[in-house]
């Protein structure tokens, strides 16, 4: 396998456009450095619109390789309808089955990548392209209503979701979950411990903002604004437009 220093990994690294700054510049999240995304906010429709816009950006960027999305929610956004690289699931049993398959594929990829001497998807795909081998697609598993899904499917589902977040960064398979309630009953501490990248729309109180971002500020947001913060790196929250 080609050494990482000999490969241009940027061309093989997917980024999620989280929003735009006041100057109009895009704010990308490098997904090969992420364990997933947690999005919080009190307005379900606004959360859905935010996630839709961010996830659509996966399919409109110059990146070598393919992206695939599993959308676990009630209705696909218009841009995703008819796409072969987007799979829609809505029934609880099917969502559970898809997550099981997602985790199984993560484990399979670990074995394949370990055998090839690679520890991240951009490097594996770059070296595979140079050798004429098939590339592995980047995948995201989106859950539109995390509290409702966990309440229906239980702790076994939550454990698998946490596993997917814990090990997804290396193999290019990440969860993206939405919750209207960042309190423990709506955003389990087990998952918060695994996922550092947080986005938040307006919430009712400073307490909700702290639970979502470990920082105040989301209670003051206007329509069309969000805060992004990586809580693991203890960065300042960044105000963006979407």
Q: Are 106 and 167 in contact (CB under 8 A)?
A: yes
In a domain, residue 242? The reply is no
Instruction: Report phi then psi at 14, rounded to 5.
Output: -80, 145
What number is the average pLDDT over the span 6-11? Answer: 74
Q: How many domains does the chain have?
A: 1
Residue 59 included in any domain = yes
Q: Is residue 141 part of a domain?
A: yes
pLDDT above 80 (res 4)? no
Provide the domain limits for residue 211: 36-75+84-233
Structural domain contains residue 142: yes
Give 224's contacts (C-beta < 8 A, 6+ positions apart): 241, 242
28 part of a folded domain: no
Residue 40: CATH number of its domain: 3.40.50.300
Q: Is residue 17 part of a domain?
A: no
- Structure pTM? 0.94
Does residue 1 carry a pLDDT above 80? no
Tell me, yes or no, whether 150 lies in a domain: yes
21-36 pLDDT, tens per residue? Answer: 999 999 999 999 999 9
Q: Does residue 61 belong to any structural domain of this protein?
A: yes
The string of DSSP letters for 143-204 reads ES-HHHHHHHHHHHHHHHHHHHHHHHHHHTEEEEEEES--STTTS-HHHHHH--EEEE---S
**Strand partners of residue 38:** 177, 198
């Amino acid at each position: 396998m080609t050494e990482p220093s000999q490969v241009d990994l940027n061309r093989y690294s997917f980024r999620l456009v989280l929003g735009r700054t006041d100057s109009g510049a895009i704010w990308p999240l490098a997904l090969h450095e992420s364990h997933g995304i947690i999005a919080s906010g009190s307005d379900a429709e606004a959360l859905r619109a935010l996630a839709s816009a961010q996830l659509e950006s996966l399919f409109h960027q110059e990146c070598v390789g393919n992206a695939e999305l599993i959308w676990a929610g009630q209705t696909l956004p218009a841009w995703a309808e008819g796409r072969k690289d987007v799979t829609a699931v809505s029934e609880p049993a099917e969502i559970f089955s898809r997550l099981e398959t997602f985790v199984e594929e993560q484990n399979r990829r670990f074995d394949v990548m370990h055998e090839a001497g690679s520890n991240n998807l951009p490097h594996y795909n770059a070296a595979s392209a140079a050798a004429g081998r098939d590339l592995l697609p980047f995948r995201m598993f989106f859950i539109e209503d995390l509290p409702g899904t966990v309440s229906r499917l239980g702790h076994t589902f939550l454990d698998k979701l946490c596993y997917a977040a814990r090990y997804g960064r290396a193999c290019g398979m990440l969860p993206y979950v939405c919750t209207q309630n960042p309190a423990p009953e709506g955003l389990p501490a087990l998952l918060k411990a695994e996922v550092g990248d947080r986005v938040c729309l307006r919430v009712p109180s400073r307490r909700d903002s702290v639970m979502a971002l470990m920082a105040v500020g989301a209670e003051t947001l206007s329509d069309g604004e969000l805060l992004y913060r990586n809580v693991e790196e203890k960065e300042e929250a960044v105000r963006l437009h979407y």
